[in-house]
Chain A
Amino acid sequence: NAGVTQTPKFQVLKTGQSMTLQCAQDMNHEYMSWYRQDPGMGLRLIHYSVGAGITDQGEVPNGYNVSRSTTEDFPLRLLSAAPSQTSVYFCASRGQVDNQPQHFGDGTRLSIL
């Protein structure tokens, strides 16, 4: 049971570098989302997608891009990393019906120096 798989688990970047956080799910879920988790602030929604080819912004989208070319994959791109983007990033997925709770990956810990 793979569920939601995130890679890499850890990453250190320098300010200004770009990178892509990978997320894949094998549950055929239409809805996928990205969160960042910071101490004292809980999970905050960055971007989400309700299906292939459809994405939308969440609560804190600035500095991040997403695309959804397949049902399975939902990568998150940092265009020019900033120290404020140091965080733990979680990808999640769920079925299309609104009231279904989400399944989370184990996160990517990102440090930006």
Chain B
Amino acid sequence: QKEVEQDPGPLSVPEGAIVSLNCTYSNSAFQYFMWYRQYSRKGPELLMYTYSSGNKEDGRFTAQVDKSSKYISLFIRDSQPSDSATYLCGFNDMRFGAGTRLTVKP
């Protein structure tokens, strides 16, 4: 079993849709959970960061962590074309998912 698994997509949604991005992990030592957004030909930029189970909300973005199931999610509400990017999950900022490419169509 891979230490981190992330559906690579690609994922295409219409503008205004709710997007759900997910990662699973197997390492119980992971205590910090991040979501990064990466635009084409750019470096990853931190979007959300949490260290506890439950939900964390920031504007249109909600990060969800379920430590018992070793599962994290990122929800994007009212998705915009500017959200089109690759989204990476990160664990303890040392292990990363392969990224999910998202396209939001106007």
Contacts and interface: CB of A to CB of B under 8 A. Distances in A.
A4 B34 CA distance: 19
Contacts of A43: 44, 88, 96
B96 A102 contact: no
B99 A42 contact: yes
A82 interface: no
Interface size on A, as a range, is 20 to 34
Contact of B43 (A4, A45, A101): A4
Interface stretch (A60-68, A71-79, A103-111): A103-111
Interface in B39-70: 41-46, 49, 51
A84 interface: no
B70 to A, nearest CB: 17
A94 B93 contact: yes
Given A42-B6, A42-B97, A102-B46, 16 more contacts: A4-B43, A40-B8, A42-B96, A42-B99, A43-B96, A45-B94, A58-B94, A99-B31, A99-B51, A100-B93, A101-B90, A104-B43, A105-B43, A106-B43, A107-B41, A107-B43
